[in-house]
Structure 1
């Protein structure tokens, strides 16, 4: 019996060394979770008939328990590198079903899909058709929209310009763009047509009386009309009452179009006794190319284009399980659900039991600090040596017994 007991101890120590060796080998593996060997004593008889003097039959390894403690987060600055700070798993689909991972080292494949190292597609909740929110009832592959963002024609100009109340009436009449003495001030800015082509827009201001002004809009030298403004004694706009000046642009000759009416929101324009200070903004922009991808802590993925347009591409799905130790490791830093783990509970980052998503960071292996592993290795080595010594001792006793029998 002693031989079997010692042999079981050697086998157990060897199994423990295998687990520790795997932990150390994956000390640099992104998202890796270490394991600890689990053992149980062995008896040759059942507990019901166990004598108080019974001696056990050794030890056996009952399994290895995964340790899902959080690994350290390491900054990479990669726009598609992500880590979950807290509970949860990324969901990837390799074509045969969902798998789950803590390894957020994602890349873009040739079709623009975001994938893991083995080609599994990162799963997200797609945007709702209404343009707001996400459809959390389904999952889809995250694809970066690498095509150009469509251009938008200017339809609204917003002005917060101050007109100098102390200005005199122009000396020349009528107004002419070629006669600087026929207007008080002028400012030029850029507007866009339906194809994203840029055009020079100039507003000429003509003081027509106390607290009254004309705004003349020209686009590429073509008049878009004149609008009248009236200010009160405090210098704030009172007419038009809604603050909107309407202009009718001449359509461009390149096949693109302007809206039939361009509105200038002048509600925040003023007429104070200080210098003319122009300030304009407009809502048109040229076509743009994808420049960057932002991932919020809530997992919302936003494409940012060179024309400052933004498009939400989806919200990263996060999974969790009733029993993490029931998950089955399938390699490539991935797990699959089993009956023991329970089905995946899906959610979104930063809500309830799910951790935040950190862009530009990766979770290191939770065995990256190998000190504890080396201590366990030394202990397992001592156990192995002790059981080997026991084998040698039993073998010596048996040899002495056989020699005594031979002499008799």
Structure 2
């Protein structure tokens, strides 16, 4: 039995090493969220058996949970680099229509003048009045991803061929995107749609700091930045990974020692078994 107990310990230590190694490997990934392996003990006994005389049967992996803590904000001075300080996710839509959620705000303008992230997904915004910037209509509890629009930044005023040329783009802390043209006109293009969830741990990872909603996470709660449960949007900044490399290296050493200790336990059990087998020889 001791072989299997120590074997479960080896598997647990290996899972811990894998999670830590993934954290270290993604220390420079934008908006990456570190993971932590969670374990529970295995115990079994007969209904009438005295549990004080029964040892545990090893360890099991309960899950690998992501830690959605705030990462360090890094200044880039690029207007469409957006970082969230606080809770919330950007809402983006892929070419296939799939809606996902991300903290990676490294947005750029594609050939069709849509604002896209590093995967080519378009950032979603609430429609606004182009002259006043007022939401039309304001988001409610029933507002869903289908009520959002792609952010388009035309190079000329109102997209007209003979219109004034675009000179600059701005994004406020509330996520309101504005464009200023050569004739001094200001046009509001939309307000960045922020999403939150009842259970962040229930989100499904998609890679590239993207997540999709599941039954466990619940439906997205949409709103605007710098209001209520949603954090502020910082233009010209990106959120770095929330990985503390020093902490991870210490955890790596601890996981390695745990692996070695379980391997030593198996070796000791093997020596005891060999001694018993050789009693009659």
- For normalisation by structure 1, the TM-score amounts to 0.64
Q: Give the secondary-structure state (helix, strand or coil) at the position aligned to 2:53.
A: coil
Q: How many residues align?
A: 272
Deviation, structure 1 residue 48:
8.4
1:351 lines up with 2:194 in the alignment = no
1:292 lines up with 2:177 in the alignment = no
Q: How far apart in 2 are the matches of 1:55 and 1:142? A: 61
List per-residue Cα deviations over 1:120-142 (Å, max 9, x = no partner).
11000012488651233520010
Deviation, structure 1 residue 145:
1.5
| Structure with the larger strand share | 1
Gap regions ≥5 residues in structure 2 = none
Q: How far apart in 1 are the matches of 2:61 and 2:73? A: 33
Q: Give the secondary-structure state (helix, strand or coil) at the position aligned to 1:33.
A: coil
1:281-360 alignment runs, 5 A limit: 287-360=163-236
Q: How far apart in 1 are the matches of 2:20 and 2:183? A: 53
Deviation, structure 1 residue 96:
3.1
Paired position in structure 2 for 1:391: 266
1:44 lines up with 2:44 in the alignment = yes
1:242-281 alignment runs, 5 A limit: none
- Relative to structure 1, is the Cα distance of residues 129 and 73 closer, same or farther in structure 2, using a 3 angstrom cutoff? closer
Paired position in structure 2 for 1:139: 148
- Relative to structure 1, is the Cα distance of residues 132 and 116 closer, same or farther in structure 2, using a 3 angstrom cutoff? closer
Choose from 256, 277, 280 the match for 1:402: 277
Kept in 2, the 8 Å contact 1:149–1:309? The answer is: no
1:21-60 alignment runs, 5 A limit: 21-45=21-45, 51-60=51-60
Deviation, structure 1 residue 308:
1.4
- For normalisation by structure 2, the TM-score amounts to 0.92
Deviation, structure 1 residue 46:
7.0
Q: Give the secondary-structure state (helix, strand or coil) at the position aligned to 1:52.
A: helix
Q: How far apart in 1 are the matches of 2:48 and 2:33? A: 39
1:7-406 alignment runs, 5 A limit: 7-45=7-45, 51-94=51-94, 95-128=96-129, 133-135=134-136, 136=139, 137=143, 138-148=147-157, 287-367=163-243, 369-405=244-280
Kept in 2, the 8 Å contact 1:302–1:310? The answer is: yes
Gap regions ≥5 residues in structure 1 = 152-195, 197-286
Kept in 1, the 8 Å contact 2:131–2:188? The answer is: no
Kept in 2, the 8 Å contact 1:127–1:312? The answer is: yes
Supply the RMSD in Å over aligned alpha carbons. 2.1
Kept in 2, the 8 Å contact 1:322–1:341? The answer is: yes
Kept in 2, the 8 Å contact 1:149–1:305? The answer is: no
Q: How far apart in 2 are the matches of 1:72 and 1:348? A: 22
Q: Give the secondary-structure state (helix, strand or coil) at the position aligned to 2:270.
A: helix
- Relative to structure 1, is the Cα distance of residues 294 and 12 closer, same or farther in structure 2, using a 3 angstrom cutoff? same
Kept in 1, the 8 Å contact 2:45–2:51? The answer is: no
State the structure with more CA Rg: 1
Q: Give the secondary-structure state (helix, strand or coil) at the position aligned to 2:51.
A: coil
Kept in 1, the 8 Å contact 2:91–2:99? The answer is: yes
Kept in 2, the 8 Å contact 1:82–1:360? The answer is: yes
List per-residue Cα deviations over 1:324-351 (Å, max 9, x = no partner).
1111101121001111111111000011
| Structure with the larger helix share | 2
Q: How far apart in 1 are the matches of 2:180 and 2:67? A: 38
Q: How far apart in 1 are the matches of 2:107 and 2:261? A: 47
